[in-house]
Every structure is written in structure tokens, then in C-alpha cells.
Chains A and B, each alone.
Chain A
Amino acid sequence: MLRLQKLTKTYRTGDKALNAVDLEIPKGQVLALIGPSGAGKSTLIRCVNRLVEPTSGKVHLGDGEEAVEITSMSSSRLRRARREMGMIFQEYALVERLTVMENVLSGRLGYVGFWRSFLRKYPQSDVDEAFRLLDRVGLLEMADKRADELSGGQRQRVGIARALIQNPKVLLVDEPTASLDPKTSRQIMRLICELCAERELAAIINIHDVALAQMFCQRIIGLQKGEIRFDGSPDDLGPDVLTTIYGEEDWKATIRPAEEAAA
């Protein structure tokens, strides 16, 4: 569904954030991207939808005949491609002064003309879908609240609804749980994974919490200094692997013991 070819990003300061990353994600796969701060995780997902312009390399979205190449697109075609990629942010990135409903509907901006969106005259089908999604994430009664009145977990649910109303093929998720408490973190991760399963979405989830990644994701990629150091199933993630990704540390408490995983 998503294929990265030799994706490279060198910032103007000369920092190489990504170094020829090759990665292929099939339909329906939820992938966790782990690595130390500054490893290039955020840069990687932002290069996919070109919020950050990659220096070189290719990004293919879609399967077989329908596949499109994103890095060479003109800005109008890029906008169309962005509709297919939902994005979820660390600090939720909701428009704070708008209502929950407006925030969810803003996911349809790529499909609706300027004046319709400016006057908030969205097609009824979009509004129906917004209500359905709000119900799905458990916020139906909050539709009229302003986004800054919600708690962190609720805001992230709105962010998820906004990403899903785009009807995307791929979800790009940047540290979805970094500002949430442990219980809410699990609920949010569970929700994202359930929704990906329901809709057969491919997802890249940047995450600092290795245990959460192991708990919810089918595949784990370890990124260090812009290069992939590990690519495998959660069960293969041992202390030696974490040492190559993050550096020397006692990893026993961080990761799930193998026997528990098997049970």
C-alpha cells in the first residue's frame, strides 16, 4: 500500500534526518516506528505526505496499477494524494477555537470547495459520516463543544475522527500517546488499531513507548540516525536489538518477556 524507496532528507543545516530508507507496508498492516529522539521518525512520516519535502527518493502510494508516486507531484495533485493519507498528531493539533464537529469536518476539506467549507455548508453525507465517526470514538454528545474544552484523550479521539473522515488508505500517526496518561494511551492505541483492522488501513505509528508498540503492532521498525536498524515482529525485539537502536541500558523492565508473549 505504501512503498518508500531510498527516501532521504537532509536539512539545510546539513543534518541527515533520513538516509536512503527503503520500506514497504502492505494493506492492513499496523507498523510501529521506534527509535531515539532525533532518529528521524517524525521526518519520515512527514516526508510521506510532504509536510517536509524529501531531498531525494520516492514514495509510492497504492497497489499495482493505481499506485501513484508522491515526491514528483505538482501541488494540486499532491493535495488530492493527501486526502488518501490521514494524519494523527502528538499534541492533537486540533483547531482549538473551533467546535468538535468543525474539527472533524475539516478532514473533508480536500473534497469540498472553498466557499462551502468557509460557510460550513458541508454535504449531508459528510455530516452523517462525521456523526457516525463521533459515535464510533465515543464523543457523540461532545459534537457542539469547543475543542479546547476537551481532555487530552478526548481531543486525540477527535483527531482520529478527523483523520478517518478523509476515508484514507494510509494513516500516519505521530506519537499519538506522548501527552496522555498510561490508561488513555492504551485506549487510544487500541482504538487506532481496531479502526485500522475494520478498514484495512496501513498505518505507520511513531511511538516512544516500546511496550505499547509491542502490545498493539504487528511489525516494528527500529530507526537510528535515519537508518533502519531493525525490522521484525514484536516478539523478536530483544534487549540486544534495543541496545543497537537506543544504546546500552538495562532493558529487562521495558520489554515483554518472551514466555509471557507466548502465553
Chain B
Amino acid sequence: MPILDSAGQKTWQLRNRNEQLVRWAGWLVGVAIFMWCWQRISEATTWAFVWDAPRIAADMASRSWPPRWSYMETLWAPLWDTLNIATIGTMLALVMAVPVAFLAARNTTPSAVFVRPIALLIIVSTRSINSLIWALLLVSIIGPGVLAGLIAIALRSIGFCAKLLYEAIEEIDTTQVEAITATGASRWQVMAYGIMPQIMPAFAGVAVFRWDINLRESTVLGLVGAGGIGLQLQSSLNVLAWPQVALILIVILVAVVVSEWVSAKVRGAII
């Protein structure tokens, strides 16, 4: 009761005394946990290495500068692979995500009791496994190469795309759907006319957003042998060829900046 009436004068406070005490106790517990964790991590750290870090980092930087620009010749092909992994992987993911999204959305699912939980399970399970782990599994199943990376990216993206899409489907304006239904349209026609136009902006937005993310993710897939520029990064690191590593990092940075720019342009054009 935040409003107190004492001697005819009403006073108001956001919280009463008990609520105030509970909040203070909550803060106390939070700070205590933080301090405890800090202590644990500190015990497990070899501080000599940490104090040494600036010198090592400076040493590494001096070895890797200048980048070995001539190495670029061998980078074009893996860079193209990386781009393909990201783009085709995203397309594959979208193809699979659209039906899953329709099955998961409360207003379009054929059965909220049986089908929807399965669709949600697909979404959660593909989202919860990192693409690097997918790639690790796939490399051992279908062998190393671009295909493994492509499928890893696709599988990882299904959940993300389907989740955003089904949220968009659930937020559509139902009167438009009603109007199309009232003309005597079939179930599929209602989807094509009443629902699809409404989720197109969301679909396009999700597609470029995910493509953007996938380009970053596909640069590291090579580390586990799933093709792309990461493969070169791995081999350069193995032979301690720091100037090559520097060049690869610069190339990745440029690629990501370009993808960011492209997706911003595309999103701007659609919305």
C-alpha cells in the first residue's frame, strides 16, 4: 500500500517498506555472488601470463606487420567459397524455415497440440547448436569441403529465420485474412493473398539479416575443415605465418563491412 493516510494527509511512495527491504536484499545477494565468482576466476588465472600480455601482443603485432599482400592471390578462391557458403546456406535455410514458420505460428498451424510443438522443437534445436559444432559433425559425416559448411550454415539458420517469421505471421492484420476468406478463397489462396503480402517485408528483412550473420559465421567454418577462408586462416596459424594471418583478418573485416552495407541498402529499399 504505497498510499498512506496519516492525519488527513495522503502520502505516496512507489514501494512500501517490505518491498523496499526485499529489493535491498536482492541487490545484496547479487553483489555477493558477483564477488564470489570474481574470486574463483582470479584463483584459476595464471596472473604472470596476464601481466605479460601487452608485451606478447605487441610482439605478435610487430611480426604480422606489414601483411603479406601477395598472399591475396591464393585468397580469392576461398573468399568466393565463403560467400557461396553464406548465400546458398541462407537460401536453403529460408526454404526450410518458411513451412516450419507456418506450422509454428498460432494462427496458421494445422494443430496447436501436435504440429506446433514439433515445429517449435525444430526451431529451438537448430538454434541451440552453434554452426561450428554443426560443421564439426557434418565434416565427419559427409567429409570436409564447402558442402559441409553450407549445410552447417543452413541448419543453424532454420531456427533463427523460422522464429522471426512465425512471429511476423502471428502479428498480421486478421481482417485482411477475413476479407479474403469471405470471398470463398481456398486455404492456399488465403495464404497467398491474405498472409503472404503482409509478411513479405519481414521475410526480406530476415533474409538479409541472416545472410549478413552467416557471412561472419562462414569465415570461421574452415577452422574445422568445412571450406572457405577459415581453412587458410587455420593453415597460416599452424605455420605461424603472421603476415598472412593479418591479411586474412583484414579481408574478413572488409567482407563483413561490405555485407553490412549491402544488407542495410536492401533493408532500406524494402521497408
B-contacting residues of A (Cβ < 8 Å)?
49, 51, 79-83, 85, 87, 89, 91, 93-98, 106-111, 114, 117-118, 159, 162, 166, 172
Q: Contact check: which of A81, A98, A111 meets B193 at CB < 8 Å?
A: A98
Residues of chain B contacted by A106 (CB below 8 angstroms): 180, 183, 185, 193
Tell me if B185 and A49 are in contact (CB < 8 A). no
Tell me if A89 and B175 are in contact (CB < 8 A). yes
Residues of chain B contacted by A109 (CB below 8 angstroms): 180, 183-186, 189, 193
Residues of chain B contacted by A82 (CB below 8 angstroms): 181-184
Q: Which residues of chain B (180-234) have a CB below 8 Å from chain A?
A: 180-186, 188-189, 192-194, 197-198, 200-201
Please name 20 further chain A to chain B contacts, defined as beta carbons within 8 Å, in addition to the given A97-B197, A166-B184, sorted by A numbering.
A51-B178, A51-B182, A87-B182, A89-B178, A91-B175, A93-B178, A94-B176, A95-B179, A95-B193, A95-B198, A96-B198, A97-B201, A98-B197, A110-B185, A114-B186, A114-B188, A117-B185, A117-B192, A162-B183, A172-B182
Residues of chain A contacted by B188 (CB below 8 angstroms): 114
Residues of chain B contacted by A117 (CB below 8 angstroms): 185, 189, 192-193
Alpha-carbon distance A93/B185, docked complex (angstroms)? 15
Q: Contact check: which of A83, A94, A114 meets B183 at CB < 8 Å?
A: A83
Residues of chain A contacted by B193 (CB below 8 angstroms): 95, 98, 106, 109, 117
Tell me if B176 and A95 are in contact (CB < 8 A). yes
Residue of B nearest to A107 (CB): B183
8 smallest CB-CB distances across A and B, nearest first, come from: A110-B184, A109-B185, A82-B184, A93-B179, A83-B184, A87-B182, A93-B175, A97-B197
Tell me if A110 and B176 are in contact (CB < 8 A). no
Interface size band for B: 20 to 34
Number of A-B residue pairs with CB-CB distance less than 8 Å in the complex they form: 79
Tell me if B189 and A49 are in contact (CB < 8 A). no
Q: Contact check: which of A51, A91, A93, A114 meets B192 at CB < 8 Å?
A: A114
Residues of chain B contacted by A108 (CB below 8 angstroms): 183
Residues of chain A contacted by B181 (CB below 8 angstroms): 51, 82
Tell me if B183 and A110 are in contact (CB < 8 A). yes
Residues of chain A contacted by B180 (CB below 8 angstroms): 95, 106, 109
Residue of B nearest to A97 (CB): B197
Q: Contact check: which of A79, A94, A118, A162 meets B184 at CB < 8 Å?
A: A79
Residues of chain A contacted by B182 (CB below 8 angstroms): 49, 51, 82, 85, 87, 172
Residues of chain B contacted by A114 (CB below 8 angstroms): 186, 188-189, 192
